[in-house]
Amino acid sequence: MEETLVDIDFKEKEEYIINMGPQHPSTHGVLRFETCLQGEKVKYIIPHCGYIHRGIEKMSESLTYPQLLHLTDRMDYLSAHINNEAVALCVENAMEVEVSDRVKYIRTILAELSRIASHQLWWSAFGMDLGALTTFFYGLRDREKILDIFEETTGSRLIQSFITPGGLMADIHPNFQRRVKEFITYFRKKLPEYDQLLTGNVIFRERTLGIGYMSKEDAIDYAVTGPSGRGSGFHCDVRKLAPYSAYPFVQFNEITYTEGDTYHRYLVRMKEMWESLNILEQLVDNIPQGEIMLNLKAIKAPKGEYYQRVETARGELGVYIVSDGAPTPARIKYRSPNFSNLFILNKVSANHKIADLVAISGSLDLVIPDIDR
């Protein structure tokens, strides 16, 4: 291996480099942080990604639109429905068709359920990053309820491939609405418990308050979207900025804080779960009748370039399709939220302790397969 400039730099300065990852409990996947320490203090980190690159974008070029959909599940697997929805919306825009309101409502309900499930898992893992191992089980216990709802309707728990261009793969299960309502009441009772266990805890507050400050300018410069950006006061909720699906029909608040530290990134997500419950409550009883799949002869985008963005649980997912009129895209590009969010890490974690690095990277809620795609 040839020596890069950085390598030589390391040798001259005799820095204490540790590799966090690719196999490390706090990176939640195969991501590697080359971390330079000075004592306990992090001087800088260099994220190395690519360990789980699967070439989804290139692979998609040889697949038709309904086919390439099943690859999008595998990018940010915690918001699989939302990823599906992004592609579906983009293709529908290109074909200039509009799905029925029923589909829109169901899509939004599924998306919000995924958002809650994703935040639950994040909460679990975040607690675990900070050493509170019990949170992991409470989060997963409640997430299981959502996965059951998914499984009953879509047939799978994690990667569903349910929302397709033109509608949905199937209609919702008769139990769907009842279960969602049950979940709303159940989870409204459990969320305060989350707060008692972690949010109010003095150790937790000490560990997160004022740690990893990210200014609004930084958030914008690095294009940090989603809850991580909103924690710094960056209004970037696509559901508000460019409402899609059933979001125009519902009332909800965009949660933003201006403090920009780990604690407030955490709070954004906790509050978002409440908001998502509100959205669900507004939608679940009012699902209108309508067809669940448009009768499309062939699903192909006309020649041109199309872009659609949606709000996943981690930020703004953009789908950019270049089509030459064939049933397969000529080029498809995903603007994945995690890739942008990752690179702020060096800036916000410099001069913090190594334990804070874990807390900060946890608060950015990175999903590694989405970084590499």
Partner 1 sequence: MALLTTLKSIGNYFREIYNGVTSLARGMRVTGKYFIQPSSIVTQQYPENRATLKMFDNFKGELILKHTEDNEHFCDACNNCARKCPNGSIEVISKREEGPDGKTRRVLDKYIYHLDMCTFCGLCVQACDQSALEFSNEFEHAVFDRNNLIKQLNHPDSKVVEKQAETKEPNTPTV
Partner 2 sequence: MYDFSPFIDSINSFFTSNFSPFWASVLLMLLLGIAILAFYAVLGLYLVYAERKICARMQNRIGPNRVGPLGLFQTIADLIKLLLKELIYIRNADGFLFNIAPFIVIVASIMAIGSIPFAKGLQAIDLNIGVLYILAISSMGVIGVLIAGWASNSKYSVIGAMRSGAQVISYELSVGLSLLCMIVFAGSMQLSDIITSQQDGWWLLKGHIPAFIAFVIYLIAGTAETNRGPFDLAEAESELTAGFHTEYSGIKFAFFFLAEYMNMFIIAAVATTIFLGGWLPFHIYNFTAFNNVMDYIPPVFWFFGKTAFIIYVMMWFKWTFPRLRIDQLLALEWKYLLPLNLLNLVLISFLTLMKWHF
What are the residues binding partner 1 (CB under 8 A)? Answer: 63, 66-71, 134, 141, 144, 148, 151-156, 159, 161, 169-170, 173, 193, 196-198, 200-203, 205
Q: Which of 3, 7, 9, 40 binds partner 2 (CB under 8 A)?
A: 40
Q: Which of 311, 356, 365, 370 binds partner 2 (CB under 8 A)?
A: 356
Q: Does residue 186 touch partner 2 according to CB under 8 A?
A: no
Q: 290: exposed, middle or buried (C-beta count within 10 Å: 0-12, 13-18, 19+)?
A: middle
Question: Which string of DSSP letters, residue by residue, matches 294-357?
Answer: ---S---PPSEEEEEEEEETTEEEEEEEEE-SSSS-SEEEEE-HHHHHHTTHHHHHTTSBHHHH
Q: What is the smallest separation between the CB atom of 41 and partner 2, expressed in angstroms?
A: 10
CA distances from 115 to 83, 177, 205, 208, 314 (A): 11, 17, 24, 23, 9
Q: What is the smallest separation between the CB atom of 32 and partner 2, expressed in angstroms?
A: 14
Residue numbers 260-279 binding partner 2 by CB under 8 A = none
Residues ≥6 apart with Cβ < 8 Å to 67: none
Residue 355 interface partner, choices partner 1, partner 2, none, CB cut-off 5-8 Å depending on type? partner 2
Q: Does residue 26 touch partner 2 according to CB under 8 A?
A: yes
Q: How far is it, in rounded angstroms, from Cα 173 to Cα 122? A: 28
Residue 217 interface partner, choices partner 1, partner 2, none, CB cut-off 5-8 Å depending on type? none
Angle at 9 between CA 7 and CA 10, to 5 degrees: 65
Place of tokens 């305060």: 192
Residue 151 interface partner, choices partner 1, partner 2, none, CB cut-off 5-8 Å depending on type? partner 1
Q: What is the smallest separation between the CB atom of 157 and partner 1, expressed in angstroms?
A: 9
Residue numbers 196-235 binding partner 2 by CB under 8 A = 197-198, 201, 203-204, 206-207
Using the contact rule CB under 8 A, the part of the chain among 54-62, 65-73, 194-202, 294-302 near partner 2 is 194-202
Q: How far is it, in rounded angstroms, from Cα 199 to Cα 191? A: 11
